[in-house]
Structure 1
Amino acid sequence: MGNNPDKRLEAQADDAFDKTPEAIAQGVDEEVVEGNRRLLSGWLWWLFAALAIIYSSFHLFSLNVYPLETWSFRIVHICGALILGYGFYTGARFVGEGERAAAPWMRGLGYALLVPALYALMQVGLMWRDISGGAMRIEPYIEAWHFGLPLIATTAIAIALSWAYRQTRERLSPPDLVLMVCAVASAGYFLVIYNTPLRMSTGTSFAPMGISYAAIAGSLLILELTRRVAGMALVVISLVFLLYVFAGPYLPGFLGYPGLSVGRFFSQVYTDAGILGPTTAVSSTYIILFIIFAAFLQASKVGDYFVNFAFAAAGRARGGPAKVAIFASGLMGMINGTSAGNVVSTGSLTIPLMKKVGYPSRSAGAIEAAASTGGQIMPPIMGAGAFIMAEITGIPYTEIAVAALIPAILYFASVYFMVDFEAAYKGMRGMRSDEIPLFSRLVKQVYLFAPIVILIAALFMGYSVIRAGTLATASAAVVSWVSPHKMGIPSILRALQLAGTMSIQIIAVCACAGLIVGVISLTGVGARFSSLLLGLAGFSQLLALFFAMCISILLGMGMPTTAAYAVAASVVAPGLIGIGIQPLVAHFFVFYFAVVSAITPPVALASYAAAGISGANAMQTSVTSFKIGLAAFIVPFMFYYSPAMLLEGSGLQILRVGVTATIGIVMLAAAVQAWFFGPVKAVVRLILLVGAVCMIYGGIYSDLAGLAVGIGLYLLQRRHSLAEGKVPGKS
């Protein structure tokens, strides 16, 4: 019996099955801890964990059970993020081993600043008492000398002190404690005044100066938190716009405008014309809800499953880990709404594996960056961009999600074929069977996709986005009960805590973007850009579109996607609509370029994050990711020339444009990677590029010309390969 070959083969098969890993992705759902993030311990950890849970629960309760008055809800939304943000993120570098912490005088000054901060907060309580007692307004000298000026001075000094205040990672600094109190004082004043008839006076000479004082302090707090969680790029752009408010009267040409006083501007910027406007409206409803949804998926380890499923499905293909990155990063990026953050979470696994099968470091990082960025344009969630677009344009969310389908397919098809052709050109292998999980094992847990399926189904059944998101969140908890990672009460509380922490960056960014939007709306600079685009369109529509592309990318460089789109939508989109482009097409145009600014040199956040993991040069990685994501720079122009790309037109038009554009994208990838059913020379690459442009353009005659080029080159490559005794397309 020992020599029976059938038994021996069965034993080998069983042995191979036993050695197949259950999973290779572990820790994808682990929370990423930034370099300036505190790791609190003891009672401080419990305090801020409770605050984060309360913050997330407050949003779920307000959105689904007991709605608050709109402005009050948004004020509390921003204030909560400021308190959590200053608790979790420090303003200076932590003390390293052997380094000295902040001097005693700095600690003393920090605690001393609590006195004016608490005094301003006490004055808010007294104002609330007076208003409740029937007072029509607060005395100006009280607003100025007992509230506003102490609050602004304390906020400014505490921010400056926090830049130099260094300490260990486990402690909360006195300046940040002061800033939390200032955030409560500023928000408290708004809650008191905005719930009286005085709210109607904002932006006029009758507005209480206290509104301006609270808005200045609130703006400083938002700018400083944005610096801590998102870097200097958005802060610098915000400061440039703020400078424009007061320098505008002295500027020449189309940039000049009559000007606004400090009081009039700041009395209006902290309203729904600015900070409390569309960006905060979206962050306080849709974004926070989907962050909670993502946190529930994360707590139930669904992210690990997504990545393992991708490895099982695509790992054996040539260049397998790169194709896994496209699938997994696109899916995760769609949910978590940040390109750079997604690169860090999934790239730490996929980038080393891509290098293992033969991709150079810069290509491995670039593929991950391009795939993670593509998640922002992947329906139905599209990061957070679809929700902001719906808020700004008034177009139903479901219509936007459906319109995004063909462009997203084209983008990921482009990245896929870029990766596949590079793997074929370099003769790369896929992963071995013993290196990836068995698909038959993972398919048994396919029910873990149920929350996303429920979300999509609920949206298209007509449920509101809030109700659909809440159902999907609840289903994530229910589904976990039949998975290896069951969510009990502790896990649910952990998910709520995680959501509160995860939301800080995006809320700060949206509030800061609201500041820029406020400047644009109050100064009319957006209308001046529109007139400029209209003038350019008189010479050439294509020139106007190219200019709009450059402005959208420039505004988005170094900024998170949400803020980049919000600003570009305020500056560029009205101009495109003004030259006759449909609103949906115009907003998709600027949205795409705001998204791909994350992989556009010289400032490419997603590419830089990937380069940090791959060990490649950051600029080389960003140039390579630009090349891999090249389709995203072409597709927006297709919106203009072929609105059927956004499902606007007859079914036959949409089908023709979708098919021909896909073929054009494949030819474009072939031209870039020098592979089309075999290696191709420079002349053939040029012909492929011409054919690709013809197919992408979308006209009937251009499609026929491109198709003729594609078929002709395929037959030529096939004959060449057969002459050399090779099978076309095989490496």
Structure 2
Amino acid sequence: MTATEQDAPGPELIADGVDKEIYASNQRIPVGMTHLIVAGLCVAYTAFHVGVMNLYPLEPWVYRLIHVGGGLALAFILFSSGIFNADQTDGRPGMARGSYLTLMAPGAALVSLAFLKVVSIYLVGGGADAAAAKDAILWSFGYPLVAGTVWLMVMGWFLPGRDRARIDLADAFLAVAAVTVALYIIYHAPFLRLRAGTGLAKDADMFASLAGVILILEVTRRLAGLALVIIASVFVLYSFVGPWLPGILEHRGYSMSRFFTYIYTDQGILGPTTAISSTYIILFVVFAAFLQASRVGEYFVNFAFAAAGGARGGPAKVAVFGSGLMGMINGTSAGNVVATGSLTIPLMKRVGYKPQTAAAVEAAASSGGQILPPIMGAGAFIMSEITGIAYSEIVIAAIIPAVLYFMSVYFNVDLYAQKFGMKGLPRSELPQFRKLAKQVYLFLPIIILISALFMGYSVIRAGTLAMASAAVVSWLTPYKMGPKEVLYAFEIATKMTLQLVAVCAAAGVIVGVIALTGIGTRFSSLLLGLADQNQGVALFFAMVVSIVLGMGMPTTAAYAVAASVIAPGLIQMGIQPLTAHFFIFYFAVMSAITPPVALAAYAGAAIAQSDPMKTSVESFKMGLAAFVVPFMFFTSPALLMQGEIGEILHVFISAAFGIYLLSSTVQGWFFGPLSLPLRGVLMIAALGMIAGGWLTDGIGLAAAVLVWAVQKRFVRPETVARGRD
């Protein structure tokens, strides 16, 4: 390439649109005054959280109830029960509006009655306090709330609104039901802390909690699909059928009152999962929204294109770096695939990648962002909260595994490009690296976040500083963030948060069942029994459970549930807490690219128009290192930065070479095409190198050299096999 060609002006907006708001297929897009009202509610929701975390702390129950209740209400307003089709813009086929309103009226009236009763309690008292009868306000609140909620929810299933610009009335009243539940429990919280889950609980407490659980599961269905709803429903059912189950599954069973009042406390829905979603998760979603509103995210992707877009298979390498970085911040694998994949997948196809391979690369890179420090899609903070291990220790431990994972994906795309003789994008179509390097200060928000955390600032303070810095650095770009852009960032932050609010609350239901029934302890005992004190076997079972629980479930919920069920058993077997939790976390993350239910891969397949199952298999192969390296955590603690510096360097270098050999095996390319027997030998070499011991390193290196010699024709296969005669 000549100097003239290298310095030719390239388009600086190749990533234009990466930061645009993405709408789900069932998401409403209000217009006019409706849009202003909804946007105002979204801004208020985010501003409330930022204000409480930084300025005026609230009592935890009250704060979490507003977090869940407000999130549910906004989710019903913004997301329909059905999918919007391009040719359906108004009305309900076959039903006049008057008939629909008549059919909806009973549900709306019942919910309104319950809402007005709660309002009257705040105004004049008379709720289900300690002195009230067990069946107090049952007919004016309990029965109407549950009956109205179910009525309106079922209507939404069969008669969803088709006008994307209009808020459906049935959903508006479901939002009112969500607010009613929150208001009731907030008012009665002082009593519920003492009587919830006991025989002293009032019937109204039970019906409020029952309605809340129904609303949570319905919003989870709308925003995250049926997988988590089914799992949570099975756990709820388990609480009632325990007396009729065999073996370790048996328990004495619980009444409706005891179960539902217990589940809507800080032992369940208001417990660890909601504590995390109402602090760390929403904080970093707001941070991601600020990066999006200031278009700093576009800069990250443009920077990646300038650095690697012209290399062999360039767009795939851009996806590895750009999508990994964005995935680390926004915390959702599938969401990140949709955001960055809309740009990278078509470009990968253009330079020669098959559709399913392009989608698989994007899915693997976006999922890898969840294990990339320092944010890890909020995973580092969640793990710190659950384990009590310092955040800094978790981040340091995550470095080598994350580097190995991204090396694996990078090697795979590079070897694939070698195998098929691919080139990168023309330099004339790429941004100029020299020009983008002058804007390297746009990385300051992430640098400030990391620095503040290691200087000892709290996570909340560090996240807030990073958020503010994202706005400040935007003043040095054409996309300055003023009051309007800050409000927009708050608005989209709420929309990005709603799915996580729902899934964390649904995961709270599962965590509550585990705590109430003790199934977690018994499962740990079963794990110990099956493994017969063999840590390798126990880890294999833990891997399977983590992946199964994570299928169709966002990382946060998958890890929280899996850690509750599996981690105690692994720790009891003598595995270090950090190792056990990292192991579970990695497989919870990798469930997004594990067949048969691989949400990130399916999202990429939709963009690439490829077969979802083939894409999920391909993404599994791309991220294969993440299925091998975790098993080395407990045999080689140095992979988690535990041990002497020499040992850590040895394990890292050995594992890195092993990852390259593993990628060569997957792609069938090692200095040329690999035959099946040689791929088998190279797989043995790869596993030997990754294992990290000196003996296994020697075996792995010898096997790799043998394959290299055969590939280079220094040794013929028949020469190697002659000793078998």
Which amino acid counterpart does residue 556 of structure 1 have in structure 2?
G
2:679 maps to which residue? 685
Alpha carbons of structure 1 residues 198 and 357: separation in structure 2 relative to 1, 3 Å? closer
What is the CA-CA distance between 1:438 and the residue it aligns to? 1.0
1:348 maps to which residue? 342
What is the CA-CA distance between 1:623 and the residue it aligns to? 0.6
Aligned with residue 262 of structure 1, among 231, 256, 261: 256
- Report whether the alignment pairs 1:406 with 2:396: no
- Report whether the alignment pairs 1:150 with 2:144: yes
What is the CA-CA distance between 1:128 and the residue it aligns to? 3.4
What is the CA-CA distance between 1:15 and the residue it aligns to? 8.2
Which amino acid counterpart does residue 33 of structure 1 have in structure 2?
Y
1:646 maps to which residue? 640
More displaced stretch, 571-580 vs 170-179: 571-580
Which amino acid counterpart does residue 37 of structure 1 have in structure 2?
Q
| Contact kept in structure 1, 2:31 and 2:165, CA below 8 Å | yes
| Contact kept in structure 1, 2:309 and 2:425, CA below 8 Å | yes
2:581 maps to which residue? 587
What is the CA-CA distance between 1:193 and the residue it aligns to? 0.7
2:607 maps to which residue? 613
- Report whether the alignment pairs 1:88 with 2:78: yes
Rounded Cα–Cα distance in structure 2 between residues aligned with 1:571 and 1:295: 33
1:35 maps to which residue? 25
Rounded Cα–Cα distance in structure 2 between residues aligned with 1:16 and 1:459: 40
1:727 maps to which residue? none
| Contact kept in structure 2, 1:533 and 1:579, CA below 8 Å | no
Rounded Cα–Cα distance in structure 2 between residues aligned with 1:95 and 1:313: 40
Alpha carbons of structure 1 residues 412 and 95: separation in structure 2 relative to 1, 3 Å? closer
Aligned to 1:33, the other structure's residue is in SS state coil
Gaps spanning 5+ residues in structure 2: where? 716-725
2:154 maps to which residue? 160
Question: Which residues of 2 match residues 124-143 of structure 1 at below 5 A?
Answer: 124-129=118-123, 136-143=130-137
Which amino acid counterpart does residue 309 of structure 1 have in structure 2?
F
1:178 maps to which residue? 173
What is the CA-CA distance between 1:217 and the residue it aligns to? 0.5
Which amino acid counterpart does residue 450 of structure 1 have in structure 2?
L
Rounded Cα–Cα distance in structure 1 between residues aligned with 2:640 and 2:322: 25
Rounded Cα–Cα distance in structure 2 between residues aligned with 1:353 and 1:24: 11
What is the CA-CA distance between 1:720 and the residue it aligns to? 5.3
Rounded Cα–Cα distance in structure 2 between residues aligned with 1:109 and 1:425: 63
Rounded Cα–Cα distance in structure 1 between residues aligned with 2:548 and 2:210: 27
Rounded Cα–Cα distance in structure 1 between residues aligned with 2:484 and 2:691: 55
Q: Please, what is the CA RMSD of the aligned residues? A: 1.9
What is the CA-CA distance between 1:94 and the residue it aligns to? 3.5
1:700 maps to which residue? 694
Percent identity between the two aligned chains: 56
| Contact kept in structure 1, 2:114 and 2:142, CA below 8 Å | yes
- Report whether the alignment pairs 1:675 with 2:665: no
Structure 1 length as normaliser, TM-score? 0.94
Aligned with residue 300 of structure 2, among 299, 306, 316: 306
1:504 maps to which residue? 498
Aligned with residue 184 of structure 2, among 165, 189, 197: 189
| Contact kept in structure 2, 1:110 and 1:178, CA below 8 Å | no
2:564 maps to which residue? 570
1:486 maps to which residue? 480
What is the CA-CA distance between 1:142 and the residue it aligns to? 2.9
1:294 maps to which residue? 288
Which amino acid counterpart does residue 42 of structure 1 have in structure 2?
G
Aligned to 1:274, the other structure's residue is in SS state coil
1:726 maps to which residue? none
2:519 maps to which residue? 525
Rounded Cα–Cα distance in structure 1 between residues aligned with 2:65 and 2:341: 36
| Contact kept in structure 1, 2:128 and 2:202, CA below 8 Å | no
Rounded Cα–Cα distance in structure 1 between residues aligned with 2:308 and 2:366: 17
Rounded Cα–Cα distance in structure 2 between residues aligned with 1:246 and 1:198: 22
1:74 maps to which residue? 64
| Contact kept in structure 1, 2:416 and 2:667, CA below 8 Å | yes
- Report whether the alignment pairs 1:47 with 2:27: no
Which amino acid counterpart does residue 448 of structure 1 have in structure 2?
L
Which amino acid counterpart does residue 501 of structure 1 have in structure 2?
K
Question: Which residues of 2 match residues 152-551 of structure 1 at below 5 A?
Answer: 152-165=146-159, 166-194=161-189, 196-538=190-532, 540-551=534-545
Rounded Cα–Cα distance in structure 2 between residues aligned with 1:133 and 1:147: 10
More displaced stretch, 221-230 vs 644-653: 644-653
Aligned to 2:135, the other structure's residue is in SS state helix
What is the CA-CA distance between 1:136 and the residue it aligns to? 4.0
Aligned to 1:485, the other structure's residue is in SS state coil
Kindly tell me the number of residue pairs found equivalent between the two proteins.
710
Rounded Cα–Cα distance in structure 2 between residues aligned with 1:291 and 1:318: 34
| Contact kept in structure 2, 1:209 and 1:267, CA below 8 Å | no
Rounded Cα–Cα distance in structure 1 between residues aligned with 2:700 and 2:3: 49
Q: Deviations over 1:612-668 (max 9, x none)?
A: 111111111111111111111111101121122111222222221111111111111
Aligned to 2:47, the other structure's residue is in SS state helix
Which amino acid counterpart does residue 178 of structure 1 have in structure 2?
F
What is the CA-CA distance between 1:126 and the residue it aligns to? 3.1
What is the CA-CA distance between 1:676 and the residue it aligns to? 2.0
Rounded Cα–Cα distance in structure 2 between residues aligned with 1:134 and 1:309: 60
What is the CA-CA distance between 1:716 and the residue it aligns to? 5.1
What is the CA-CA distance between 1:207 and the residue it aligns to? 2.1
What is the CA-CA distance between 1:679 and the residue it aligns to? 2.9
| Contact kept in structure 1, 2:5 and 2:428, CA below 8 Å | no
Rounded Cα–Cα distance in structure 2 between residues aligned with 1:137 and 1:381: 48
2:719 maps to which residue? none
Q: Deviations over 1:122-164 (max 9, x none)?
A: 2223333555999644333333211111111111111111112
What is the CA-CA distance between 1:13 and the residue it aligns to? 6.2
Aligned to 2:438, the other structure's residue is in SS state helix
| Contact kept in structure 1, 2:8 and 2:428, CA below 8 Å | no
Rounded Cα–Cα distance in structure 2 between residues aligned with 1:566 and 1:16: 49
| Contact kept in structure 2, 1:21 and 1:437, CA below 8 Å | yes
Rounded Cα–Cα distance in structure 1 between residues aligned with 2:353 and 2:646: 40
| Contact kept in structure 1, 2:106 and 2:148, CA below 8 Å | no
| Contact kept in structure 2, 1:111 and 1:175, CA below 8 Å | no
| Contact kept in structure 1, 2:408 and 2:660, CA below 8 Å | yes
| Contact kept in structure 2, 1:548 and 1:572, CA below 8 Å | yes
What is the CA-CA distance between 1:684 and the residue it aligns to? 2.3
Alpha carbons of structure 1 residues 361 and 167: separation in structure 2 relative to 1, 3 Å? closer
Rounded Cα–Cα distance in structure 2 between residues aligned with 1:662 and 1:125: 62
Alpha carbons of structure 1 residues 312 and 15: separation in structure 2 relative to 1, 3 Å? closer
Alpha carbons of structure 1 residues 131 and 94: separation in structure 2 relative to 1, 3 Å? same
Rounded Cα–Cα distance in structure 2 between residues aligned with 1:222 and 1:576: 31
What is the CA-CA distance between 1:241 and the residue it aligns to? 0.8
More displaced stretch, 566-575 vs 213-222: 566-575
Alpha carbons of structure 1 residues 586 and 105: separation in structure 2 relative to 1, 3 Å? same
Rounded Cα–Cα distance in structure 2 between residues aligned with 1:256 and 1:136: 34
